[in-house]
A and B are shown apart, each in its own frame.
Chain A
Amino acid sequence: MANANDVAAAKTGAHIEARYSIGHLIVYITLVALALFFLLPFIWQVLTSFKTLLDTERTIWPSVWVPRNYLKVFEQIRFGRYFFNSIFVALWVTTLQVTTSSFAAFAFSRLKWPGRDKVFLLYLATMMIPPVVLMIPNFWIIMRLGLYNSYAGLIVPAAFSAFGTFLLRQFMMTIPSSLDEAATIDGATEWQVFTDIILPLARPGIIVLSIFTFMGNYRSFFWPLILIKDDALRTLPIGLMYFDSVYGQQINLLMAGSVMSIVPLVIVFVIFQRQIISGIQIGAVKG
């Protein structure tokens, strides 16, 4: 009898394990299919960048591989200049935005002042306004400030961010208040609490915000499009539009330029993969 029970138990166990494995298999297959699905545009982009213009409309796989497309991009547009502009603007925006956001986040998370939380709500409310709505007022302000068609016009409006403040505030809220108190008793001023204690501890949050800001700004399209007139000030997304103009579309060169333009983003992603994922979790879990 005991043996029969053991056999039955073993069968049930095997059954559960089998079902568990099948479940897993389905999940994996679905995930792999999804991953491939999201990869498709990139694969298409890379393949297209090696095609002749004729091939772009006819085949998926290039009939002739044309690596020279990449050189042609440099010949036809000032790719290096645009690349520099994009990096220059994105780095400035990142530096300024992280600085202002960390100041604001410190004020919203660690300092006590009347109406603090109400002001923060107001701050958050600005995130609900679609950016397109702000385009014209922003453009008007920048014009009046005399920053039209300048680096400053690209940088200044993006130097402050409610999202960045929110992200860092949430992060700073997780730092125990006893640390500031200990530092205060140790003799630290508010500024020293900020620079010596909170800022070093908020480093993961700051890295995440830096990555998000850099990536977001580097690929920014609409604002540079309406603000910049001079070719020398154009950023990459605008510069690449040369290949898609009223005079014709050179999709293969456009893709070659795009592939080169995403290289910095890929590098940033590969290096900071862990921080990016934990950053997504800051918003999702701790928020």
Chain B
Amino acid sequence: MAEIVLTKVKKVYPGDVLAVRDIDLKINDKEFVVLVGPSGCGKSTILRMVAGLEEITAGTIEIENRVVNNIAPKNRDIAMVFQDYALYPHMTVRKNIAFGLKLRKYAREEIEKRVQEAGRILGISELLDRKPRALSGGQRQRVAVGRAIVRHPKAFLFDEPLSNLDARLRTEMRAELKRLHGRLQTTTIYVTHDQEEAMTLGDRIVVLKDGIIHQVGTPLEIYFQPVDRFVGGFVGTPPMNFLNGKLVAENGGVMFDEGTVKLVLPQNKHTAVEDMVGKDAVLGVRPETMHVADSAHSENIMPVHVDVSEPLGENTDLYVSTASNKSVVARVESHPGLEMGKDIKLAVDMEAAHVFEVGADAKNRTVEHSRFAS
């Protein structure tokens, strides 16, 4: 079990390609941390630097209070599960799992005991004498995990381990990995580009873009308190809607003027946006914080035209156009009358809305005042 600390870690590839920029990150003992971000954000590079597969250009990486910058991967006492599983094709499952133990000169009985134990935990006991090519994707995945757990390492590193599986198997394996972590309590760093996977698996999530950490937080913090527009847009399905407009002071309050509608900002957000009044701003609204307006709603109503309606069962995703012809997605409770081509009214829950500065990764000014804010 170990704590992993990255201090000012930087990675520059030949040709001056800056992959990771001065990252500071502390992963606590027994914690499950997920690095998430779009392709090229540096998440895999960070993982590979922790594993020792990539050299560090600057900074330090510590595993259990020991700087490992110049320590070979095999001496870092970590285990890694690769995206393509990296099972040795010429070895049986048993030999694949036992390989690391054999190299570390464990006694034969101990190796067999641990292989059997891993097989039992992962439900692959009956597959031990098969070669990897005779296994399905899910089974290969289990063997790869088996190979990692059998050594009882200080930390597990997962590099997009579920991305080659189909959707159903992915959900199953996700739950299984979470159960496994609960059981083994080993410090884990998990890399994925799938924000849903990140949300469901991580104790904490690290959101990265262009080699920079944008936010570190629990899944709910990341979801309800995105620090900037990138995090807000990256986490959540369907993604957050961004409406361009202006903040205006009216009737003693602050309103977001979208051009065709005015939405009233709740009192508790006023101080945070005081200096933005009269300036351009972006309103972030999650699809599930919009509702079909009824008589109970008197303000923050937005008339829209339903372009596409996707019933999902209990909820329906509505792809609508506002009066200013802006495309917006809303996830509302399913009921009749939400068909394509209809004109309806949506009520926006402004308590849950975020006000961002203008720009691609602009700051969320209302993060302190979002739901779940501590």
- Are A and B physically bound partners? yes
A181 in contact with B53 (CB, 8 Å): yes
Contacts A178-B86, A185-B74, A186-B103 known; 5 new A-B pairs at CB < 8 A? A179-B88, A181-B80, A185-B79, A186-B100, A188-B74
B168 contacts the other chain (CB 8 A): no
A162 contacts the other chain (CB 8 A): no
Expressed in whole angstroms, the minimum distance between the Cβ of A102 and any Cβ of chain B is 16
Interface of A is mostly: helix
A186 in contact with B53 (CB, 8 Å): no
Identify the A interface with B (CB < 8 A). Answer: 176, 178-179, 181-189, 192, 196-197, 200-201, 203
Chain A positions within 8 Å of B53 at CB level: 181, 184-185
**Cα distance A216–B103 when bound, in Å?**
39
B103 in contact with A179 (CB, 8 Å): no
Q: Mark B94-129, 1 if CB is under 8 A from A, else 0.
A: 000001100110000000000000000000000000
A176 in contact with B84 (CB, 8 Å): yes
Q: Mark B155-171, 1 if CB is under 8 A from A, else 0.
A: 00000000000000000
A184 in contact with B82 (CB, 8 Å): no
B38 contacts the other chain (CB 8 A): no
Chain A positions within 8 Å of B84 at CB level: 176, 178
B73 contacts the other chain (CB 8 A): yes
Q: Which residue of A lies closest to B72 (CB)?
A: A184
Chain B positions within 8 Å of A200 at CB level: 90
- B78, B79, B86, B99: the one contacting A181 at CB < 8 Å is B86
B74 in contact with A182 (CB, 8 Å): no
- A182, A189, A192, A201: the one contacting B86 at CB < 8 Å is A182
A187 in contact with B80 (CB, 8 Å): no
Expressed in whole angstroms, the minimum distance between the Cβ of A159 and any Cβ of chain B is 27
Q: Which residue of B lies closest to A179 (CB)?
A: B86
| Pairs A-B, 10 closest by C-beta atoms | A186-B100, A182-B86, A178-B86, A187-B103, A187-B74, A200-B90, A178-B82, A185-B73, A184-B73, A185-B80
* CB neighbors of A among B207-263 (8 A): none
Number of interface residues of B (CB under 8 A): 22
- B78, B82, B90: the one contacting A182 at CB < 8 Å is B82
Expressed in whole angstroms, the minimum distance between the Cβ of B218 and any Cβ of chain A is 29
Chain B positions within 8 Å of A201 at CB level: 88-90
Chain B positions within 8 Å of A203 at CB level: 90
B103 in contact with A192 (CB, 8 Å): yes
**Cα distance A178–B73 when bound, in Å?**
13
Given contacts A179-B86, A179-B88, A197-B88, A185 and B78 within 8 Å (CB-CB): yes
Chain B positions within 8 Å of A185 at CB level: 51-53, 73-74, 78-80, 100
Given contacts A178-B82, A178-B84, A186 and B90 within 8 Å (CB-CB): no
* CB neighbors of A among B64-87 (8 A): 72-74, 78-80, 82-84, 86
10 contacts between A and B (CB under 8 A): A178-B84, A181-B51, A182-B82, A182-B86, A184-B74, A185-B79, A187-B103, A188-B103, A189-B74, A200-B90
Q: Which residue of A lies closest to B79 (CB)?
A: A185
